[in-house]
Structure 1
Amino acid sequence: MMELSGSTIITVNKDYVYCNVEDEMVLLGMEDGIYYGLNPVGAFVWEQIKEPKTIDQVRDAILDEYDVEKEECERDLFELLQEMTEKGLVEVKVND
């Protein structure tokens, strides 16, 4: 399992199609046919990483958009991105 850090570059896996459903997002894997649902914050993260960004950039965008403490934001973001990485929803590149 890849260790994520603030400088890790992350982007959506282009093999997933997605659509907004009210304030949430639904993802469909074109290869496996599995659906995933993202809550409003998860959908916001997905919108942020349509183009490659570092995790720190995504964190800063969340802090600008939502009323959340930095530590809580980082913890929850890393947890979400780790899960998305394990499921193949995102592509990860270590930024040297």
Structure 2
Amino acid sequence: MRQNPDIEAAELKGELLLLNNAASKFYVMNPTAAFIWERLATPTSEDELASALCSKFSDASPQQAREDVSETVKNMREYGLILDD
């Protein structure tokens, strides 16, 4: 999976905002979602994302990282923010 190239991203006051022009909606990303979004600049898998999340956030257990990635990716797909290759 990877970022949808039609989505615009901008940082505002330390938060990442994503704009889906096609849906006329914007989304504010929490730190976990922002990290996942940035990692999806190049195609990657959920397992790779979970591993990277554990490395970035030392207090995240592997199980919690997998759950967070799964939920975040599910929502990003639903909102049209990411594409599956």
| TM norm structure 1 | 0.80
What stretches of structure 2 of length at least 5 have no aligned partner? Answer: none
Give the number of aligned pairs: 84
User: What per-residue deviation string (whole Å, max 9, x for no partner) do you get for residues 49-96 of structure 1?
Assistant: 011011111111111110211111111110110111111111013xxx
Separation in 1, partners of 2:33, 2:79: 14
User: What per-residue deviation string (whole Å, max 9, x for no partner) do you get for residues 21-76 of structure 1?
Assistant: 23321011122221111011111111000110111111111111102111111111
Runs of 4+ aligned residues of structure 1 deviating over 4 Å after TM superposition are: none
CA root-mean-square deviation? 1.1
Preserved CA contact (<8 Å) 1:23 1:40: no
What stretches of structure 1 of length at least 5 have no aligned partner? Answer: 1-9
Separation in 2, partners of 1:81, 1:23: 22
Separation in 2, partners of 1:28, 1:73: 25
Determine if the alignment matches structure 1 residue 88 to structure 2 residue 80: yes
Separation in 1, partners of 2:2, 2:11: 18
Greater Cα shift, 17-26 or 64-73? 17-26
Preserved CA contact (<8 Å) 2:51 2:65: no
Return the structure number with greater helix share.
2
